[in-house]
Amino acid sequence: MLIVAVVLFATEKIPVDVVGILLVIGLVLTNVLTVQEGLSGFGDNVIITIAGLFILTGGLIKTGLVDLIGRRLYKIAGSNEFLLTALIMIVAAISASVLKNTTTTAMFLPVVIGLASRAKVSPSKLLMPLAFGAILGGSCTLIGTSTNLAVSGAMQRYGMEPYSMFELTPVGIIMVAVGLVYMLFVGRKLLPNLGGEDSFTEQYHIREYISEVLVLPGSHLIGRTLGEANLNLELDLNVLGIIRGQEQRIAPTSNELIAEGDLLIVEGTLTNILNVKAEVGLEIKADFELNDRDLESGEIELFEIMVMRDSRLVGNTLKTINFRRSYDLTVLAINRHGETFLDKISSLRLKFGDVLLVQGNRRLIEPFVVVGEMLLLEDVSTSSMRTEKRRWAIAAFGLFLALSLSKLVIGFDVPLAIAVLLGVLLLLATRTVRHNEVYQLINFRLLVLIACMMSFGIAMEKTGADKYLAGLIVEYFQQYGATAVLAGFFVLTVALTQPMSNQAAALVVLPVAVKTAIALGLNPRTFVVAITFAASFSFITPLEPACVLVYTPGRYRFMDFVKIGTILTIVVFIVSIILVPLFWKL
């Protein structure tokens, strides 16, 4: 069943949370687990803690704290690429230590793209350092990643104390420092110099797909609306604007009347544009030279949006969701992992990480940005931010951190789940986060996955599968020494994080590692810590969510991550195998 689960996680033909549910159902139906054991993960306090942290993080985002930090970064670094890279990685690492790496990357992505534009630096030089800095920073505290919290919750099943808030911090800080030095002096030189063109029309190479068509006297289109003319269906052309004398109407509505002498700015393939010659009453204007200004006017602009993981756009086409009518926006092109789609984009199924070049009023998209369906790849206007509530968002997070350290300060232990709920209540009481927004901020897919994998850990322990696998490892690898076995588990965890989620990989390896350590007479906590770090350091491919977010905006190729990320993985592996046994004795 484990092998089947790993294959399903790797192929992603079925959503990972659904795979987790199917796994639990299979274990219950085969009598490996009772119903209570199968669902026990959903009642774990770790689930409440992670859900609460999503809400606390949402409070910080909604109050515009990130935009404030971005403006300060530019004031300090200016146009110095080296200094910008260093500051971005440091700020990302600090933020990720309390906000989680994926959230940090998503928050700072528009800010860093704006910094790159102002500093005249290619976005590709700054976006991968942003993602890597966030991943490294997430390893520094208990709440830095959901993986840390999930492992901490699972540790108690083996008689170990859960992680304290800053137990991982000393080694985590060293990891951040080592990663920073590597990216500044080695990785930065390996980064491609891509993106940063002056205009979207250059970036997406759409000039050959857009032309001007003149409406001649006697044309059958005169006096008809764009909706009635239906050029999209008749000629497979999309009307982006109308020039009438000195008047320019960009992104016209379907009710716009066509008049004699109008210049229609149309988008389509070269073949479809040339077909206009055969259409009576229309003529292609030969000397048309496209730039961004031809597609922008007043509140109508060109901008980029990214499709987020839980967006309703994922798995749908622009046609099936009637994008233009639903959002009153026009999609001109789609970029997916460096490949630009300009032809028949309405029938292309959208995926997480796709970047859409959109024409329209950006204020129409901001409500969807606020709820996390889409990410605007530039600063969202402060009008949609509750800047006046910023102090309450900071106070709520501060309350949570203070209560989580209460045992060290006053000797009274406030459970982490209670601490986070008190912080959430403060956000709700001050209306920093509103009641109807609470459940939109929580990533339920991740919570379901973690709960299911915790139940899977019980199944491995109950059936003796963990002892069996541990016995095999002891038999074949004991001769190489304790450090070699520890290194083997680190490598195994890193390998599993490529096809699987980090949380699933850690919770699959954890029971086997603990039983192996016990069989060898070693400290199981040392193995647990090594697995925790290994599950966080997913740099080799752009499949890690933080890396997916920067993949397309940075115009990276798959091999860019393999080349730069593999070296960084080797570096943090060596540092981990040296430091972990020093801080947690084998």
Domain stop point among 382, 415, 438: 382
Please check the confidence at residue 447 and state whether its pLDDT lies above 80.
Answer: yes
Report residue 150 as tokens.
Answer: 């999930």
Cβ atoms < 10 Å from Cβ of 199:
15
Choice between 418 and 408, residue whose per-residue pLDDT is larger = 418
**How large is the average pLDDT for residues 329-347?**
82
Whole-angstrom Cα distance, residue 306 to residue 335?
Answer: 9
Domain stop point among 361, 382, 403: 382
**How large is the average pLDDT for residues 528-538?**
92
Q: Are residues 343 and 270 in the same domain?
A: no
Q: Are residues 306 and 350 in the same domain?
A: yes
∠ Cα 171 467 519 (to 5°): 60
Closest CA to 452 of 51, 3, 25, 145: 25
157: exposed, middle or buried (Cβ count in 10 Å: 0-12, 13-18, 19+): middle
Whole-angstrom Cα distance, residue 567 to residue 539?
Answer: 9
For the chain, the distance separating the N- and C-terminal CA atoms, rounded to the nearest angstrom, is 32
Report residue 512 as tokens.
Answer: 């086997």
**How large is the average pLDDT for residues 9-19?**
72
Please check the confidence at residue 170 and state whether its pLDDT lies above 90.
Answer: yes
- For residues 579 and 171, the answer to whether their CB atoms sit within 8 Å is yes
Q: Which residues contact 272 (CB under 8 A, 6 or more apart)?
A: 235, 236, 237
Q: Are residues 256 and 321 in the same domain?
A: no
Whole-angstrom Cα distance, residue 549 to residue 566?
Answer: 19
DSSP code of 380? P
> Is 276 domain-assigned?
yes
Quote the pLDDT of residue 63.
Answer: 80
246-250, 513-517, 532-536, range with the lowest pLDDT: 246-250
Residue 200, classed as helix, strand or coil, is: helix
Which residues sit opposite 211 in a β-bridge? 266
Q: Are residues 324 and 265 in the same domain?
A: no
The whole domain housing 283 covers 207-289
35-44, 125-134, 139-148, 245-254, range with the lowest pLDDT: 245-254
- For residues 251 and 330, the answer to whether their CB atoms sit within 8 Å is yes
Highest mean pLDDT pick, 228-232, 285-289, 378-382 = 228-232
Closest CA to 173 of 149, 143, 138: 138
Quote the pLDDT of residue 111.
Answer: 83
Helix (H) or strand (E) holding 356: strand 355-361
> Is 339 domain-assigned?
yes
Domain stop point among 350, 382, 414: 382
**How large is the average pLDDT for residues 546-551?**
87
Angle between helices 416-429 and 45-62 (to 10 degrees): 30
Please check the confidence at residue 486 and state whether its pLDDT lies above 90.
Answer: yes
267-271, 494-498, 547-551, range with the lowest pLDDT: 267-271
- For residues 266 and 283, the answer to whether their CB atoms sit within 8 Å is no
- Return the half-sphere exposure (C-beta side, CA atoms, 13 A cut-off) of residue 92: 33
Whole-angstrom Cα distance, residue 338 to residue 320?
Answer: 25
Whole-angstrom Cα distance, residue 139 to residue 530?
Answer: 11
Please check the confidence at residue 292 and state whether its pLDDT lies above 60.
Answer: no
> Is 15 domain-assigned?
no
Quote the pLDDT of residue 201.
Answer: 64
Whole-angstrom Cα distance, residue 317 to residue 410?
Answer: 56
**CB environment 546-556: b (16+ within 10 A), e (fewer):** bbbbbbbbbbb
Q: Are residues 321 and 269 in the same domain?
A: no
In this prediction the pTM is 0.78
Q: Domains in the chain: how many in total?
A: 2
Whole-angstrom Cα distance, residue 241 to residue 514?
Answer: 65
Quote the pLDDT of residue 280.
Answer: 58
Report residue 145 as tokens.
Answer: 């990643």
> Is 336 domain-assigned?
yes
Please check the confidence at residue 287 and state whether its pLDDT lies above 70.
Answer: no
Quote the pLDDT of residue 571.
Answer: 96
**pLDDT tens digits for range 43-61:** 888 888 888 888 888 888 7
Please check the confidence at residue 381 and state whether its pLDDT lies above 70.
Answer: no
> Is 11 domain-assigned?
no
Confidence band for 337, pLDDT divided at 50, 70 and 90: confident
CATH number of domain containing 249: 3.30.70.1450
Q: Are residues 285 and 324 in the same domain?
A: no
Q: What are phi and psi of 54, to 5 degrees?
A: -60, -40
Confidence band for 130, pLDDT divided at 50, 70 and 90: very high
∠ Cα 299 305 306 (to 5°): 170
Q: Are residues 245 and 264 in the same domain?
A: yes
Quote the pLDDT of residue 278.
Answer: 65
Confidence band for 291, pLDDT divided at 50, 70 and 90: low
- For residues 85 and 65, the answer to whether their CB atoms sit within 8 Å is no
Confidence band for 297, pLDDT divided at 50, 70 and 90: low
Report residue 335 as tokens.
Answer: 């970029």
258: left (phi over 0), alpha (psi -120 to 50) or beta: beta
Biggest distance spanned by C-alpha atoms of the chain: 92
SS3 letters across 461-523: HHHCHHHHHHHHHHHHHHHHCHHHHHHHHHHHHHHHHCCCCHHHHHHHHHHHHHHHHHHCCCC
- For residues 112 and 118, the answer to whether their CB atoms sit within 8 Å is no
Helices (H), 100-245: 101-119, 124-137, 146-155, 169-182, 188-190, 200-203, 226-229, 231-234
212-216, 247-251, 374-378, 568-572, range with the lowest pLDDT: 247-251
**How large is the average pLDDT for residues 101-128?**
86
Choice between 481 and 576, residue whose per-residue pLDDT is larger = 576
Quote the pLDDT of residue 185.
Answer: 95
Quote the pLDDT of residue 213.
Answer: 83
- For residues 48 and 421, the answer to whether their CB atoms sit within 8 Å is yes
> Is 285 domain-assigned?
yes
> Is 278 domain-assigned?
yes
> Is 314 domain-assigned?
yes
Please check the confidence at residue 273 and state whether its pLDDT lies above 60.
Answer: yes
Using alpha carbons only, how large is the chain's radius of gyration in Å? 27
